[in-house]
Amino acid sequence: MQTSTRDRIVVAAARLLQRQGYVGTGIKQIAQEAQATLGSVYHFFPGGKEAVAVAALRHGSEKFGTLLRESLDEADDPAEAVTACTRRLAGDLRASGWTDGCPVTAAALETLGTDSEIQRTCAEALNEWEGLIRDKLLRGGLSPEDARDLASTVLSALEGAEVTAQVNRSEEPLHAVGRQLARLVRSYEVRVETAWSPPLRPR
Amino acid sequence: MQTSTRDRIVVAAARLLQRQGYVGTGIKQIAQEAQATLGSVYHFFPGGKEAVAVAALRHGSEKFGTLLRESLDEADDPAEAVTACTRRLAGDLRASGWTDGCPVTAAALETLGTDSEIQRTCAEALNEWEGLIRDKLLRGGLSPEDARDLASTVLSALEGAEVTAQVNRSEEPLHAVGRQLARLVRSYEVRVETAWSPPLRPR
DNA sequence: ACACCTCTAGAACGAACGCTCTACCCAATG
DNA sequence: CATTGGGTAGAGCGTTCGTTCTAGAGGTGT
Name the residue with higher pLDDT: B190 or A122: A122
**Domain range for B109:** 5-186
Task: Specify the pLDDT at position A189.
Answer: 80
Q: Which residues of chain B carry a pLDDT beneath 50?
A: 1, 194, 203
Task: Specify the pLDDT at position A194.
Answer: 47
B187 touches chain A (CB under 8 A): yes
Interface of A with B in 133-162 (CB under 8 A): 149-150, 152-153, 155-162
Name residue B81's amino acid. A
Nearest to B156 among A20, A150, A164 (CB): A164
CB B62 within 8 A of CB B53: no
Please report whether residue B198 resides in a domain: no
Please report whether residue A156 resides in a domain: yes
Contacts of A99 in chain B (CB under 8 A): 112-113
Whether residue A2 is predicted with pLDDT greater than 70 in this model: the reply is no
Burial of A82 (0-12, 13-18, 19+ CB in 10 A): buried
Chains A, B: CB pairs < 8 Å: 163
Kindly indicate the confidence band of residue A196, based on its pLDDT and cuts at 50, 70 and 90: low
Interface of A with B in 67-126 (CB under 8 A): 98-99, 101, 105-106, 108-110, 112-113, 119, 122-123, 126
Q: What is the 3-state secondary structure (H, E, C) of chain A?
A: CCCCHHHHHHHHHHHHHHHHCCCCCCHHHHHHHCCCCHHHHHHHCCCCHHHHHHHHHHHHHHHHHHHHHHHHCCCCCHHHHHHHHHHHHHHHHHHCCCCCCCCCHHHHHHCCCCCCHHHHHHHHHHHHHHHHHHHHHHHCCCCHHHHHHHHHHHHHHHHHHHHHHHHHCCCHHHHHHHHHHHHHHHCCCCCCCCCCCCCCCCC
Domain containing residue B131: CATH number: 1.10.357.10
Please report whether residue B192 resides in a domain: no
Please report whether residue A192 resides in a domain: no
Please report whether residue B107 resides in a domain: yes
Query: Looking at chain B, which residue has its C-alpha nearest residue A161?
Result: B156
Whether residue A1 is predicted with pLDDT greater than 50 in this model: the reply is no
Please report whether residue B145 resides in a domain: yes
Number of domains in chain A: 1
| Backbone dihedral angles phi then psi of residue B2, each to the nearest 5 degrees | -85, -35
Please report whether residue B197 resides in a domain: no
Please report whether residue B113 resides in a domain: yes
Q: How do residues A32-87 score in pLDDT, each as one tens digit?
A: 999 999 999 999 999 999 999 999 999 999 999 999 999 999 999 999 999 999 99
